[in-house]
Amino acid sequence: MDDFKNEEVIAKIEQINLVLLEKSIVSEKNKSGGISLLAGKSGITLYYALNYQIFGKEIFKKHLLSSLNETVESITSSNSLLLSHCSGISGWGWLLDYLTKNHLIGNDFEDYIAEVEDVLEEKLTDLLLASNFDLLHGALGIGLFLIKRQKNAAICKILYSLDQCAKKTEKEIKWTRYDKYIMHDTIYDFGLAHGNAGILYFLTKCYQAGILKDLCKSLIEGLLRFYINNIQDIEKFKSYYPASVRIGDYTIPDEHGYTSRLAWCYGDLGILYTLYNVASILNNEAYAEMFLNMLHNTVTRKDFKETNITDAAFCHGSSGVGFMYLKLYKLTGSELLKQAYLFWLDATLAFGGSKKAGSAGYLFDLGSQGGIAINYDFLSGLEGVGAFLLSSTKNGTEIMSKWEEILFLC
């Protein structure tokens, strides 16, 4: 990135920070978002932490500690807490672990972390009995925190449950889930946020941690075959993978074909990013080369009809796409992926042109329920945009490998 572009990025970060440091805005946000890591108080705390790590300004440390104390107050005063990585105490536990290990806070919070571990281990069985293997909202997201805390017995319970619930054939291994929002049916979900790519990510984290490695490898290899068996004709369907398929419509090879978006949550980029990383970890050079070539082919998708990108959000917008291309460029040195990153960096900056007060230039597509509006969340709003832009700075590129786990990207 040239000096002029760096100045433009820094200027936009400063604009975002002016908004996110504003007490009235943050207080209002905190009321609506709870302790959520990806949509509430824990998310803004992490955002302040990233700024402090990169710029070293004490104002961010002050706001980090203040916001963190608000999360403690929320938890200690609540009669009912969610468990999940996205919105609950698992995500909060991840934040405390991150802040402690990066020396942003002392060891004062270890007792809280221990309490979180105990509650999650106790409640895990209920999620497994419901076959809730969602990364954002279910057992696997909780499992990521428990891996960090070396709670291997609990992780083994998750792995045995995954093995028991897997749909196994001679050709592949995969998992189903019920989609109560869109299809109202049992589906094979291909995506990273809620589907089989997320399960693949979790299995690989367990494999790397040395937990039931043989079982993990067997499940990983079967799930990789599922993705290889379902590669679509990109010329015909514009994407290699669908977002999801009803189990009643599923064939190998898929005779139907579906076009999916280009995004972190669903579509080719989040899926192929995961597949490439898994193949690299397993030292499967043939698979890694194949998935990298497929990633190269995604860079031509740029307009709305090909990507379905309507805003700068990390989840489904330009900043998530830009971040993944940046990470892939750092991993591979590919000039094609570098140019894709720069394209989506420009797109993210261009999205920030709103004049609405308190927006830092950004409005977000909140779907049929919310329309186009201001949003401060990490996953779907301003914090995630800011995190991507921070990662585009020199020091930010060095820091990104420390926090990207919250979005299943390392």
Q: What is the pTM of this model?
A: 0.96
What mean pLDDT comes out for the span 341-352?
97
- Does residue 225 have a pLDDT over 60? yes
Q: In the predicted model, what is the mean pLDDT of the chain?
A: 94
- Does residue 394 have a pLDDT over 90? no
Q: Are 55 and 348 in contact (CB under 8 A)?
A: no
3-state helix, strand, coil in the chain (%, to 5): 60, 5, 35
Nearest to 166 by CA among 225, 120, 113: 225
Give the model confidence (pLDDT) of 59-81 as tens digits. Answer: 999 999 999 999 999 999 988 88
% pLDDT > 90, the chain: 87
Assign 26 a pLDDT band (cuts: 50, 70, 90). Answer: low
> 185: how many CB neighbours lie within 10 A of its CB?
14
What mean pLDDT comes out for the span 177-202?
96
Give the model confidence (pLDDT) of 241-288 as tens digits. Answer: 999 999 999 987 666 688 999 999 999 999 999 999 999 999 999 999
Beta bridge partners of 262: 267
Cis peptide before 242 (omega within 30 of 0): no
What mean pLDDT comes out for the span 307-314?
97
Predicted local distance difference test score (pLDDT) of residue 24: 46
d(CA 205, CA 209): 6
Predicted local distance difference test score (pLDDT) of residue 50: 97
What mean pLDDT comes out for the span 145-163?
97
d(CA 316, CA 243): 13
Nearest to 198 by CA among 263, 256, 140, 127: 140
- Does residue 323 have a pLDDT over 50? yes
